[in-house]
Amino acid sequence: MLSGKLPKTFDPRKLARQGLQFEGTLALKQFEQLVACIADDQGEVSVFLHFYMSEDHRVVLEGRVEADLKMICQRCLGVTGVPVSTEFNLMGVWTDEQAKLLPEGFEPLMLQEEPMELVPLLEEELLLSLPIVAYHPPDVCQVQQSFTTDPDGADAAEEERTNPFRVLASLKTDSR
């Protein structure tokens, strides 16, 4: 297993024939599209990649990408940490027809004659793993706490609240 420096570009066919594994980190700043969706570009992305050939001699890339991203909480608009982790199983294909016929559990990895760039591949997986909306945990979020704790005793007033249709009941009895 090769640890530390991940390749900037790679040939999946060559790496799969060699059965190589890579493990390392990349600076979050390198992921431009991802950084545009989050609140802070500081941090690292942990990456594990395993290239190998399947039984039917097809290129396979198994991987895992993890990062602790800073996103805007949609309740209080503060910054919250969102751990993102995704695993992927990609199988090399040359055409869309081959992609349609992939075994279950695999997604297509479009092979090319020239080397592929690593960051766009990983960035796509991270973008797909982002939550649609980010929130602080309920016990930490300032807005959530203001709704659950009421110092003025409005909860008691809510219990004593009268039925708004009480007037209609009196009209019903008056008409008889």
Quick one: 102 exposed, middle or buried, by C-beta within 10 A (0-12, 13-18, 19+)?
middle
pLDDT at 174: 65
Q: What is the pLDDT of residues 51-73, one digit of tens each?
A: 999 998 999 999 999 999 999 88
Mean predicted confidence (pLDDT) in 12-19:
92
Mean predicted confidence (pLDDT) in 120-149:
79
pLDDT at 152: 55
pLDDT bin (cut points 50, 70, 90) of residue 76 is confident
pLDDT at 61: 94
pLDDT bin (cut points 50, 70, 90) of residue 148 is low
Burial 114-134 (b: 16+ CB within 10 A, else e): eebebbebbbebbeebbeeeb
Q: How many CA atoms lie within 13 A of 71 on its CB side?
A: 20
